[in-house]
Structure 1
Amino acid sequence: MMSAARRSKSYYEPARWYDLRDFSQLGDVPFFLEMASKCGPDVLECASGTGRIAIPLAQAGYHVVGLDRDEAMLRRCREKWRAAQAQARGTLRIVKADMTDFRLRRRFDLAFVAFNTFLTLARLEDREKMIRCVRRHLKPQGRLIIDVFQPSLPALASDQPERLDFEIEDPQTGCMVRRYSRARRDMSTQQLEMTFEYRWIDPEGQRHSEATTFPMCVIFPIEMRMLLEYNGFEVERVLGSHDGSPFEKNSPLMIVIARRSNRSVRRSA
């Protein structure tokens, strides 16, 4: 049968398949629950998506605002929250907004951006805008956590050919859906052009695909520290894993925990 291909309207990943993946091996939900217990009850998640982390936080008793700009992700989050909120001990407010430019009439003990989403801010000015916007919404001594992968120079030396990432079953159709990824790298700008493509065969035998392409930046440890310190934060700790392991040269992740500083923010040139 002929194939049907289309571009996804989602910025990052199609919402209808995002929650079908098994994220339990990441360990990030227990990590952010622990961090919230140390920081305070008011929590902001930037790029909260379908509520994978925001909803467990609200269920555990925290007062959470989750913001995202992808309407399909937000719609899925609202559906999940309606089903969960009766048993929740906290609250969740779901906001459609860009994490580089939002205005909320409250301040938070903890703000975070998880699962590499900070890296989708490919332009330096957008990364600075996001950090400064979050800073304005934090209480004195409030924390910001940025959770990204640690770049590997050998892996960044050439383009990533297409590879199969995983396969999942679509419960609505019973079809097996496979996600493939590929990346084009430009180290002169420290940017990647990522493509995620979902492919499946429907019950009539027709092949389908849905792809989304988006930019990602590459940030090295010293750059991350400077980015935060120039924009009103003091880095307290850097972890290499959600299990609390210290950051080392071979750590898979770079989880930066920064405290809102009282120093004046550097002015842009």
Structure 2
Amino acid sequence: MNEENGSLSSKSGYEGVGRFYDLFTDNSDIPFFLKCAKNYGSPILDLAAGTGRISFALAKEGHAVVALEQSPSMLEVARLKLESTNPSIASNVTIIEGDMTQFNFDQKFPLIIIPNSIGHAITTEEQLSTLQCVHHHLTDNGTFILDIYPGALQHEHAEFKEIPVSLADGTTVERHGKIHTDMLRQIMRIDLDYIVRDANQNIVEEVHVESYAALLFDREVNLLIRIAGFEIENEFGGFDQSPYSQYSSRRILILKKSREE
């Protein structure tokens, strides 16, 4: 990828809208990650942890979690959750501000997860650096779960409008979005508009944000994970653990350190 793609790195993700993130997120992946945690153990490293939605779900089940996140607005929400969570659960969560493409802890983990965020590492170099950091922090027999939207399935252009979410104070939040995909550069841009209305449906706030993500295709992902020193133990096409196929909406890779190292 070119230098222009690299300049997008600071614009990737959902910075500035952390307070809205949980309102529209899909939590259908949580049972899958809870099952994996039960099978593979903890402590768990949750990379690009966002507001901590998966980290706190894991913590509630007694797992120790380190949640790494770079976005200030996401971190703000995660820390508020930490303050308001039962101390017996909150003690299981460590929140760290940091970049998944370059981090270094004095700790190794039997389970590391990246739930649908590897695309926010925009360039090939950033993607490889992320995988190499994971490899360095994974125990020798540990498991790395990489959750990906297959790039081949991405629409070139699309629009969506989600059902407004009602809050306890009577306000509602709407989210509209437009997707623009550059297949040549393998970059997707999502223009998101959040509209907040009061109890009388008057608009009291409007927020616009641009989010960027790399499109990741199977062959390049396979090459990246091999270069980073991983091998595929299993792969699924959904959180129900159905087989991965050309029709799957997700590619979920269960990775181990390569035995050829």
**TM-score, normalised via structure 1 length:** 0.84
How much has 1:254 moved relative to structure 2?
Answer: 0.6
1:53 aligned counterpart, secondary structure: helix
One-letter amino acid matched to 2:19: R
Match of 1:16 among 6, 14, 19: 19
- CA displacement at 1:179 relative to structure 2: 0.6
Number of equivalent positions: 249
Q: Percent of pairs identical after alignment?
A: 29
1:159 pairs with 2:162: no
Task: Check conservation: 2:12, 2:213, Cα contact below 8 A.
Answer: no
Matched residue of 2:24: which SS?
coil
Give the counterpart letter for 1:110 in structure 2. L
In structure 2, give the amino acid aligned to 1:149: Y
Cα 1:149–1:179 change in 2 (3 A) is same
Post-superposition CA distance 1:28-81 (Å, at most 9, x none): 111111111221222000011111110121121211100101122122212222
- Contact conserved, 2:147 with 2:252, CA < 8 A, in 1? yes
Measure how far apart 1:196 and its partner are. 1.4
Shift of 1:149: 1.9
Aligned to 2:120: 120
Residue 199 of structure 1 and its aligned partner are, at CA, apart by: 1.7
- Which runs of 5 or more structure 2 residues have no equivalent in the other structure? 1-10
Q: Unaligned stretches of 5+ in structure 1?
A: 1-8, 265-269
Q: Aligned to 1:198, which of 194, 218, 227? A: 194
Equivalent positions of 1:206-217 (< 5 A) are 206=203, 208-217=205-214
CA distance in 1, matches of 2:31, 2:211: 28
Q: Answer whether contact 2:18 2:51 (CA < 8 A) is retained.
A: yes
Residue pair 1:141, 1:261 contacting (<8 A) in 2 also: no
**Does residue 142 of structure 2 align to residue 146 of structure 1?**
no
Greater alpha carbon shift after TM alignment, 185-194 vs 73-82: 73-82
Contact 1:10 1:212 in 2 (8 A): no
Aligned AA for 1:15?
Answer: G
What RMSD in Å do the two structures reach over aligned CA positions?
2.2
Q: Whole-Å Cα distance in 2 between the matches of residues 241 and 188 of structure 1?
A: 27
Q: Taking structure 1 as reference, are residues 94 and 246 closer, same or farther at Cα in structure 2, changes over 3 Å only?
A: same
Q: Check whether the contact 2:68–2:95 (CA below 8 A) recurs between aligned residues.
A: yes
For 2:149, the aligned partner's letter is F
1:6 equivalent in structure 2: none
Residue number in structure 2 paired with 1:57: 58
The separation in 2 between residues aligned to 1:247 and 1:238, in whole angstroms, is 6
Q: 2:175 aligns with which of 174, 179, 196?
A: 179
How far has the Cα of 1:84 moved from its partner? Answer: 2.5
Cα–Cα, structure 1 residues 124 and 104, in superposed 2: closer, same or farther, change >3 Å? same
| Partner residue, 1:131 | 131
Partner of 1:221: 218
Structure ranking higher in helix proportion: 2
8 Å CA contact 1:59–1:85 kept in 2: the answer is: no
* Corresponding letter in the other structure for 1:143: T
C-alpha contact (below 8 Å) 2:152/2:217 kept by paired residues: no
Is the Cα contact below 8 Å between 1:42 and 1:110 reproduced in 2?
A: yes
Shift of 1:167: 1.8
SS in 1 for 2:241: coil
Is residue 12–residue 212 contact of structure 2 (8 Å, CA) maintained in 1?
Answer: no
- In the other structure, the counterpart of 2:165 is 168
Greater shift after overlay, 92-101 or 163-172? 163-172
Task: Provide the rounded CA distance (Å) in 2 between the counterparts of 1:205 and 1:144.
Answer: 46
